[in-house]
Amino acid sequence: MAAPRNLDSLPWITKDGYLDMLKAPLESTYMRACGDDPQAARDSLGVLSAVFLLGFFVALPARGLDASGRNRRSAAIRTHAGVRLTAYG
């Protein structure tokens, strides 16, 4: 699928350039993740993972502190930075 030339053609991008998750086409992404094409499945899983993590970080309190006195969002990002993943086969 070719990338759109104009963001105005994407209904899930607001006029201010933000992502409107209520309009994001996640159903088709989910269907590709469950499909038979391994490359499309990996790509789709990457998108779904990013959406999940974005929602997770946004849902964390911006001002609350964790046990070490850090912002919870910062602590969550630092925790994820230490996760090591193996490559897909």
Give the helix, strand, coil percentages of the chain, each rounded to 5: 50, 5, 45
Per residue, what are the HEC states of 23-74?
A: CCCHHHHHHHHCCCCHHHHHHHHHHHHHHHHHHHHHHCCCCCECCCCCEHHH
Could you read off the pLDDT tens digit of each residue along the chain, which spans 89 residues?
A: 565 567 677 787 888 877 787 888 788 888 999 999 999 998 898 888 888 887 787 777 767 666 666 677 777 777 777 667 665 54
